Amino acid sequence: MAAQSQAIVAPTDAELLQAQADLWRHSLYYLTSMALKCAVELHIPTAIHNLGGSASLLDLTAALSLPPAKLPFLRRMMRLLIASGIFVSDSNTEVETYRLNPLSWLLVEGVEAEDHTNQKYFVLGTISRQYVEAALSLADWFKKDLAPPLPSPFEELHGVPNLDESTPFPEEEFDMIVHEGVAAHDNLAMGKIISKCRDIFKGVKSLTDCCGGDGKTARAIIKAFPGIKCTVLDLPKVIEKAATDDVINYVAGDMFKLVPSAQVVLLKLVLHFWSDEDCVKILEQCRKAIPSRKQGGKVIIIEIVMGHYMGQIMYEAQLLMDMIMMVNTKGRQRDENDWREIFMKAGFTDYKIVKKIGARGIIEVYP
């Protein structure tokens, strides 16, 4: 028996007008991203910072060495960025002034602060021509009957996988921007995580940081816990550039083949780049590297744990981070059920979400 069709209730005039406005916003949101990219390329956050944290339009135009004829256009762009929460303005004075907020503070270059990691390259990477072109190809990608393992839209369009050390992107500048953006993203708020989750490092004598790069995270851990002996594992081309010393043991290798033995293995913002199957392989190597739970063996994972626990805006940010993974890599963001399934497949017996800080969760996984 055919399902009865439901009568369509026509929207009211007010609903239609609101729907049209919502359609404008969703169709044109890319202009906010492009305005943000422009602000970063013009160094507007840094200029406001250097002008004492507050700048008029004339001050800003002069500091940026822009032609005076562009002043009214800069005003219009700043108006959008203020409405979007990227800057704030003080319009109660005779002359409107622009100020930084926490978001634009992250884009100031040259700031020396313990938990400030400039996010310039994250913006330039995520709004790059190569990423945007990959997103524009989504409909074509969905229509193609591609053989597994499925390439990402980025790989299908550009012919090489993204963030693959064996086949770097042919445009060196883009490759540099993406890697710098990932590093900036990964290092942000590490000091906060250590201070808020000190218990996870108590009693730890040795730790291997998988994909630890230049050792910035390992150094932060050693600074807070001098008794921990840290090893950084990364690919040979990464380790070659690291500033070696007696504080950290750098190992060039492949986490799919061998993870250096330690009481604890750290995977900080690594697994979201990989498929579920690859995550299981990585975690199996991590499990082989650590002792039993009774001897303090565990894997510490810092990753997004998707969910509504911090409200709609944070959840939307998590969904967008999942989409950028889908478009540009073979990885994804995961909710707690997804993580649990991967942990069990990799042979672990238990896990605990120790704390959720922002969009990220700090997870202990036990052998």
| 185 assigned to active site | no
Q: Give the helix ranges, DSSP H, for the chain.
A: 13-41, 44-50, 57-63, 71-83, 102-105, 120-126, 129-136, 138-143, 153-158, 172-187, 190-196, 216-224, 236-239, 276-289, 312-328, 336-345
Pairing of the two strands 360-366 and 88-90: unpaired
Residue with tokens 């940081």: 209
Of 363, 312, 311, 313, the closest CA to residue 338 belongs to 363
Amino acid at residue number 326: M
Helix (H, G, I), strand (E, B), or coil: what is residue 39? helix
Torsion angles phi and psi, residue 255, rounded to 5: -65, -15
State how far the Cα of 231 lies from the Cα of 249, in Å rounded to an integer: 5
Amino acid at residue number 100: L
Question: Cis before residue 170, ω within 30 degrees of 0?
Answer: no
Which of the residues 43, 116, 185, 272 is marked catalytic? 272
State how far the Cα of 21 lies from the Cα of 364, in Å rounded to an integer: 45
In this structure, the number of other CB atoms found within 10 A of the CB of residue 25 comes to 10
Angle subtended by helix axes 71-83 and 13-41, to nearest 10: 120
Amino acid at residue number 150: L
Known catalytic residues are 272
